[in-house]
A and B are shown apart, each in its own frame.
Chain A
Amino acid sequence: MAVDSTPRTDPDSALALKILVAGGFGAGKTTLVGAVSEIRPLRTEEQLTEAGAGIDDTGGVSRKTTTTVAMDFGRITIRSGLSLYLFGTPGQDRFWFLWDELAHGALGAVVLADTRRLADCFAAVDYFEHRRIPFVVAVNCFPGARSFGAHEVSRALDLDRGTPVVLCDARDRDSGKEVLVRLVEYAGRMHAARMLDSVG
């Protein structure tokens, strides 16, 4: 270490991890990000380019559609040089194509579910299952909504065995932290299982 001349701000020693927060419109994504973030949730905009259906041969210019979507994000510093970034993904399903960019290298995802509109999170569940990205379903217990057990939600969503379902209150910091802990634990278990698979 004595010969280490690396400046303290050297980004190579810093590690940032990314967790996505998905779910239907109004399921509480921004609320959850705000509850656990140490900074006021920030809003950023991402410009998305979706390749158009056809290519204009004569001009050699591909037709593209550009959409601007807003994203909310927050940060949790675990220690100096290790931070967790949470990104609330756009609510509308039609922005699913954004997730590839967002999801690349993500540690995992939280799919927020509202039991009154469970179907709203089908797209997110499908997406993460297909990409084999570790995720937990966090059932946001809205006041006044009929309460369902984790098992019922798991069956209704036809989740793969082992996918954790956590009941939570997205407004509550401790509840939000617990959701994240369950996700990181699950991501670790999935990772270990895959390592075993690859050697066996």
Chain B
Amino acid sequence: MSAPRERAAARWYDAEAGPLVRPYAMTGGRTRPGAAGVPLDLIALVAAVDTGPGPGEDSLLGPEHRALLSLCAAGVQSVAELAADADLPVGVVRVLVGDLLQAGHVQVSRPVPPARLPDERILREVIDGLRAL
């Protein structure tokens, strides 16, 4: 009986334990985007502007920045998708995308969605699109 327990004790830091790096260590302790910072909505769309800096360039970018850039390079991604795919909390992704935006590596559309509804033509398109699925 004791063997499995010992094994479990030795491996307490499995996936269930969560990441060993505190999330906001990746942002240098920042919980809000920098000066150009806008509060990014979950559905704000992020597109890569360029292929990003080469491996030697721009040492300000950490591995998480680069991971997000490569996700965006594959196509426009929402903040929510970036967070899920990079396995990072949304708050961290907001800060990191803010950095990328400031450095000119990405473009963000509708950081905050307009409060009014889209026009009728769009709604019609959504309804027809849903029916056709």
Q: In the bound complex, what is the Cα–Cα distance between A177 and B115 (angstroms)?
A: 24
Q: Is B45 in contact with A16, judged by CB distance below 8 angstroms?
A: yes
Given contacts A11-B46, A75-B81, A85-B78, contact A177 B125 (CB under 8 A): no
Contact of B43 among A18, A68, A180, A191 (CB under 8 A): A18
CA distance A46 to B83 in the complex (A): 10
* Closest CB in chain A relative to B2 CB, distance in Å: 35
Residues of A in contact (CB 8 Å), total 42
A46 contacts B78, C-beta separation under 8 Å: no
B92: min CB distance to chain A, Å: 8
Q: Does more than half of chain B's interface fall in helix, strand or loop, or is it mixed?
A: mixed
CA distance A79 to B113 in the complex (A): 19
**Candidates A7, A78, A85; contact of B130 at CB < 8 Å:** A78
Per the CB 8 Å criterion, the residue count for chain B at the interface is 41
Using Cβ atoms and an 8 Å threshold, which residues of chain B touch A18? 41-43, 113
Tell me whether B29 is interfacial, beta carbon within 8 Å: no
A17 contacts which chain B residues (CB < 8 A)?
A: 43, 118, 122, 126
Interface residues of A (CB under 8 A from B): 7, 9-12, 14-18, 42-47, 68, 71, 73, 75-76, 78-79, 82-85, 87, 102, 104-107, 177, 180-181, 184-185, 187-188, 191-192
Interface residue ranges, B against A (CB under 8 Å): 31, 41-48, 75-76, 78, 80-81, 83-85, 89-91, 107-110, 112-115, 117-118, 120, 122-127, 129-131, 133
A-B contact pairs, 19 of them (CB 8 A): A9-B76, A10-B107, A11-B46, A11-B108, A11-B109, A14-B109, A17-B122, A42-B84, A44-B84, A44-B90, A45-B89, A45-B90, A78-B130, A84-B126, A105-B113, A177-B131, A181-B130, A184-B130, A192-B120
